[in-house]
Amino acid sequence: MTLERQRQVTAETEEWVGWPMAEASLPDLRGHTEATPCPSVLELEELLRAGKISSCSRVDEVWPNLYIGDAPGPHFPPQGSTALPPWHWPCWCCWRLWPTWIPRSWMDSLQKQDLRRPKIHRTGPVSPYQPPTLSSLQRLLWARRATTLSHVNEVWPNLFLGDAHAARDRSKLTQLGITHVVNVAAGKFQVDTGAKFYHGMPLEYYGIEAEDNPFFNLSVYFLPVARYIRTALSVPQGRVLVHCAMGVSRSATVVLAFLMIYENLTLVEAIQTVQAHRDICPNSGFLRQLQVLDNRLRRETERR
């Protein structure tokens, strides 16, 4: 790595972390055309294994006044700190997990002072929000793929994501207590259910004739559908099913939009939230439309 590249990497790291790096901590590379190459993963693993010790204490001082320890046990608090309340211990992580042996007076004092987690103040300006790239989103979507896919899953409290089979299973809808159905694949040649299909059932129907096509503009439905879902969930005992044909692209996209608009999640957070319960895979065009929404929502948040 050349000196120029080393400086470039340092600048990029400072911008990404948001905290200025001390120049004194950087090695003096003057007079050298190349820096020492970064160690490989195997070299790092060998280094960690070489430092193994026969026993491990519950807490160790790894830097002046900086401790690393495990969950509190009979050996806590650290030696020499028994006369101090936990917020005076040298290691904040020790008192955040303090056990029930702490005197009641300490807990009362903690409540009276209304202490909070220590605040970390950044010394530099916070960089503007940068939405994830399309490739990074696609990698995120493919990072967790289940071997099987169920017809319907609850991906948010009282919000279900499913496919056409789930939408046509009237007994399953009754069992789940569904009160509202959002069909993002409505139409004669798609999932043609409609309000008549649910006649006699205590639920409301909302249909969108969307195509699972990267060139289809689904973003025009983001806000209307998000409002409908929000209103439906605000109803007592309200439970919403959002579906398309497979329950992975069109319906998943509008559910992500809802979480971003009304639950204040970023696009990545919304994907991770839904994927924790159901595999989804919006097409590339829908992902780009969600990127635009994500960027716009973050800009509005920054202006507040």
Residues 6+ away with beta carbon under 8 Å from 190: 209, 245
* H helix or E strand, kind and range, residue 219: none
Q: Is 93 a catalytic residue?
A: no
Residue with token string 């020492």: 36
What's 104's DSSP letter?
H
Q: What is the torsion angle, in degrees rounded to the nearest 10, for the CA atoms of residue 103, residue 105, residue 107 and residue 113?
A: -150
Alpha helices in 201-283 (DSSP H): 222-234, 250-262, 267-275
Candidate list 38, 56, 93, 244, residue with the active-site label: 244
Give CA–CA dist 184/288, Å, rounded. Answer: 18
Give CA–CA dist 213/190, Å, rounded. Answer: 13
CA Rg value for the chain: 27
* H helix or E strand, kind and range, residue 209: none
Residues 6+ away with beta carbon under 8 Å from 37: 1
Which residues are catalytic, by number? Answer: 244
